[in-house]
Amino acid sequence: MFETVLIANRGEIALRVLRACRELGVRTAVVYSAADADSAAVRHADQAIRIGPASSRRSYLNAAAIVEAARQVGAQAVHPGYGFLSEDADFAEICADNGLTFIGPPPAVMAALADKSSARALMSRAGLPLSPGSVAPVPTAAAAAEIAEAVGYPVIVKAAAGGGGRGMTVVRTPGELRRAYTRTRAAAQAAFGDDRVYVERYLTEARHVEVQVLCDSHGNGVHLGTRDCSVQRRHQKLIEEAPAPALPAAVLDTIAETALRGALEVGFVGAGTLEFLVDAEEQFHFLEINCRIQVEHPVTEMVTGIDLVHEQLHIAAGVPLRWRQEEIRLRGVAVECRVNTEDPGRGFVPTPGRLDRFTPPGGPFTRVDTHASAGYVIGPWYDSLLAKVIVWAPDRELALNRLERALDEFDVAGPGMHTTIPFVRRVLDDAAFRKGRYTTGLVDRLLGVPGAAPAQRPTATPAPRPASAATPDVPNRRTR
């Protein structure tokens, strides 16, 4: 195991990684910007190194400053968290060139998978089903129109280098396509420095289902079941749950096994997530692979009892995978909601400011991952994620009731500040969501967006999941 790990991130994920390191006896160092000088991660780390001003480009995206900080503190490894440089193959290669272990896939693998078009081609060769559309980037609007005509409208134009819900445009009619194609290419160039795009059929009544995998550098791998992430605004997730509800066990097993096969085929190493769209006929289509820890990883931890950040660290240190597939057992249901400082009534616009009150919920099987406290200032420079509330229960109905109770207890307030808690309550009250029969169109339907898909029609009653060999008898029960 490493002696010292540098954490190249901020907010709740920096604190999450720091705690995992401390539990394994690993010293921690964090980098921070001027805006985060008083952050919880800075207070709790063994060492903290300021690397720049508030601007992400001059701090958390400054690869040279991060590597220099790692060298200063004598770190052997860098944990990138999520976002920022977590899926930057060039940064992973720079780490390797400076004798640092990047906690994630090898640079060459990451480079191939971070490019969405390349990932589609690799996964197609590995036998994973894709949504109808292009595999290679589409060079012209005329070529995009030909593909759209062949697969049928609506389609979605996506940035090949995109991520985090950015670089996507849904096109519902032929008349919209040329403008959408041009606009998406321009946005991709501005956001990612790469204007390549591809086109695929847009599934309007789809479920967003993903699979957590762990793969080591010795050719071993396991999947940890599924998560449903269909509750999204602007292609960014608001509520996640594990396992995915209201789908037959055989479908979930096939998706999970297919995902693991694909990850092993392309040489993936670390903790990764393969994302799929599941249509109304329960056919699934590969969407993308994320080469990092996910925001929603706690729901998988709660139903498996496996600490994913611990496993990341062991795998990066060269330890053979500590789990066999027959040892993975899912118990109960976990649900997570993201509490963002955003105003749902104004299109989820961020509402930064000072937290005058901040008292997160507690209680049985309730976990809150947050970096905030009363008096903390939410600035305008970074993501608006304030906290994640995660609950576990033996069944889904109790888990949803527990989440409602936890949100009722959550006391957060500040001048001009809004959060997504009221909107999450609306989702929890929705009849289709309570039955598990919802799609990625749920948020648009609740907001009254024109053209939003109706609630998903009922599907076959899911068969009970078979129990497999034992893992810890209870999920992570820690509360805070």
Tens of pLDDT along 375-390? 999 999 999 999 999 9
Cβ–Cβ < 8 Å for 270, 218: no
Note the pLDDT of residue 460. Answer: 43
Q: Is the dihedral of CA 170, 335, 324, 16 positive or negative?
A: positive
Encode pLDDT of 302-359 as tens digits: 999 999 999 999 999 999 999 999 999 999 999 999 999 999 999 999 999 999 999 9
Encode pLDDT of 94-128 as tens digits: 999 999 999 999 999 999 998 888 999 999 999 99
Task: State which H helix or E strand residue 368 sits in.
Answer: strand 366-370
Distance CA 390, CA 87 (A): 25
Encode pLDDT of 71-99 as tens digits: 999 999 999 999 999 999 999 999 999 99
Distance CA 130, CA 116 (A): 12
Query: What are the residues whose beta carbons fall under 8 Å from the beta carbon of 278, sequence distance 6 or more?
Result: 206, 207, 208, 209, 247, 251, 255, 284, 285
Active-site pick, 196, 292, 338, 396: 292
Query: What domains appear along the chain, each with residue ranges and CATH number?
Result: 4-103 (3.40.50.20), 132-201 (3.30.1490.20), 207-447 (3.30.470.20)
Q: Name the token pair of 166.
A: 């950015």
In 50-160, where does DSSP find H-type helix? 63-73, 89-97, 107-114, 116-125, 141-151
Note the pLDDT of residue 463. Answer: 40
Least confident of 57-61, 69-73, 133-137, 397-401: 133-137
Considering the chain, what is the average pLDDT of its residues? 92
Q: Is 25 left (phi over 0), alpha (psi -120 to 50) or beta?
A: left
Name the more confident of 146 and 450: 146
Least confident of 200-204, 284-288, 323-327: 200-204
Q: Name the token pair of 471.
A: 């893992």
Distance CA 348, CA 100 (A): 39
Note the pLDDT of residue 451. Answer: 66
**Can 292 be counted among the known catalytic residues?**
yes
Note the pLDDT of residue 117. Answer: 87
Note the pLDDT of residue 357. Answer: 97
Per-state percent for the chain, helix, strand, coil, to nearest 5: 35, 25, 40
- pTM of this prediction exceeds 0.75: yes
Provide mean pLDDT across the span 40-59: 97
